[in-house]
Amino acid sequence: MASSPQTPELARSLPNWMRWGGAGLTALVAVLFVVLLLQVREQGQRLQTLQNRLQTLENANDLGRTNALEEQLRSTVQRLQRLETLDTTVQALSREQEALRQQISSRPELSLPPADAGLLPAPTPAKPKAPPQPLSPE
């Protein structure tokens, strides 16, 4: 590396157009580097914008699914409440029926139909019709 004293001599011995060309190339590389940095920043911003949009869409989809699940849950709760109300009514009617059965069984003058008999009385047999009278010739 003893050529360092020769470098100033070499620079003096180069023609001006080579010096201007080297300076131009250096400036061109610097400008391209700055343009490249700006492009990278712009792409980073675009990427961030796209990621934000994607996140917004995913959140909207999640919100829609959550709303659908909440609606299903509400309808299920309403059905269960109706079933509980019906169950309470059936239990009350069963207790009332049992109390009425006990009242009837405690009075000997009232007869209680068997539990398997229907609530309607048995049909009475129909009376046969009288045969039609023959017409007499007159």
Domain contains 133: no
* pLDDT at 125 (0 to 100): 57
Domain range for residue 46? 14-79
Domain contains 55: yes
Domain contains 109: no
Residues 6+ apart with CB under 8 A from 19: 11
Token pair for residue 76? 């299920």
Domain contains 59: yes
Domain contains 95: no
For 8-31, the pLDDT digits (tens) are 666 677 888 899 999 999 999 999
pTM listed for this prediction: 0.46
- Per the structure, the count of domains in the chain is 1
Token pair for residue 132? 């039609």
DSSP 15-78: -HHHHHHHHHHHHHHHHHHHHHHHHHHHHHHHHHHHHHHHHHHHHHHHHHHHHHHHHHHHHHHH
Domain contains 106: no
Domain contains 114: no
Is there a contact between 112 and 104 (Cβ–Cβ < 8 Å)? yes
Domain contains 6: no
For 87-96, the pLDDT digits (tens) are 999 999 999 9
